[in-house]
Amino acid sequence: MAKAFKVAVLPGDGIGPEVMAEALRVLDAVETKYDVKFERTHANVGGAGIDNEGKALPETTINICKAADAILFGSVGGPKWETLPPDEQPERGALLPLRKIFGLYANLRPAIIFPSLTGASSLKEEVIAGGFNVLVVRELTGGIYFSQPKGIEGQGRDRIGIDTMKYSVPEIERITHVAFQAARKRSKKVCSIDKANVLSSSVLWREVVTGIGKEYPDVELTHMYVDNGAMQLVRWPKQFDVLLCENMFGDILSDEAAMLTGSLGMLPSASLAEGTFGMYEPSGGSAPDIAGQGIANPIAQILSAGMMLRYSFGLVEAADAIDKAVAKVLDQGYRTRDIYQKKDGEKLVNTSEMGKAIIAAL
Ligand code: NAI
Ligand code: MG
């Protein structure tokens, strides 16, 4: 009997449902090809949750997610809900609670330049010829964004602003395992980013990462100070496979890496909990400016589904096949409007035509 996985499908708002439809068709194709079954349950989230059930993250949606092996998320938000109190708005009211409820402590964001789209990057052609694929693994629930003490104390010019960077050994251990396990499914290299020449939390970080590295002799481990890492990313990004970062360094470096690709709208992401549970979503938003026109690029959503197969379901072969199918249609010249460069050999297509081309390539 085919192996079955339960997926909570949360399309959300704007282009979310449009690109989700294509990702679901790709899952259909994977079912046929690999003898697996994806049991999908749809649920409201974001503006769709507010309009249909009165809340950005309704109870029914939480329960559907709890019963699932993974969440496939579209995107939420739009002008219609912007006048609501901040905590009730689609993004804050849905994304932050989801992270908290499911303990999504590891954020994985690949920055991918496909060989045929190098023209979109801000980097020189010779630096990125052949494309690149760097994965930033960012710790998402600790570090300077959350540690205590924190706040502004005192009065007037005597005020001091305080933030604390704190990491416990278990917090470092679990994110480090995520990075090494991800590297095992990729090019087997981890570069750990820290500031161990200045920060005590980084001294501990480096020590713990080095210890865990010994459990993964098949993966090469290097360490780099964050300032050098920021520089090396623009100088020669191809030297990296997996970048392991604490929360703030990962926030900054993942945005830097994403922008090197020149096409934020094509990038997927994963947020993982302990075990195999995860939430998968495009890096971009609900794109209200193009919603309803059928022209959105479905690639970020399709690659997010691919990450779900890779990291939550262990279907590495099928995940590789999705990545390869995307690269192939780009080589064949298929372009949605956002990546169309008016070059010879390019074929301008809409959302569903791009989805069909990817399925054909699969
Ligand atoms: P956005 O990412 O939705 O759009 C920025 C630009 O990129 C727009 O011109 C849009 O058309 C384009 N774009 C994004 N994804 C695309 C795709 N797949 N294909 C083609 N073009 C694409 O960011 P923006 O405009 O700042 O936010 C719009 C709404 O989305 C807001 O309500 C915001 O709160 C929400 N948002 C939601 C996120 C989420 O659900 N995780 C993340 C970021 C923003
Ligand atoms: Mg950021």
Task: Provide ipTM, 2 decimals.
Answer: 0.97
pLDDT band at 334 (very low <50, low <70, confident <90, very high): very high
Given 1.10.1060.10, 3.40.718.10, 3.30.70.1530, 3.60.70.12, which CATH number is that of 122-260? 3.40.718.10
Domain boundaries, the chain: 1-107+265-362, 122-260
Q: Give pLDDT, residue 180.
A: 98
Annotated binding site for NAD(+): 78-91, 285-297
Residues with CB under 5 Å of ion ligand 2 are 251, 255
* Active-site pick, 6, 34, 145, 338: 145
Given a cut of 90, whether residue 202 has pLDDT beyond it is yes
CA of 64 to the centre of ligand 1 (A): 25
Best CA proximity match to 219, nearest among 190, 198, 182: 190
Annotated binding site: 78-91, 99, 109, 138, 227, 251, 255, 285-297
Supply the DSSP symbol for 158.
G
3-state SS, residue 60: helix
Q: Give pLDDT, residue 265.
A: 74
CA of 314 to the centre of ligand 1 (A): 29
The pTM assigned to this predicted structure is 0.91
Distance from chain centroid for Cα 69: 17
Residue keyed to tokens 């020590």: 207
- 203-261 tens-digit pLDDT: 999 999 999 999 999 999 999 999 999 999 999 999 999 999 999 999 999 989 988 88
CA of 288 to the centre of ligand 1 (A): 7
Q: For this structure, is 195 an active site residue? A: yes
Q: Give pLDDT, residue 321.
A: 97
- Whether 109 and 269 have beta carbons less than 8 Å apart is answered as yes
Q: What is the CATH number of domain 1-107+265-362?
A: 3.40.718.10
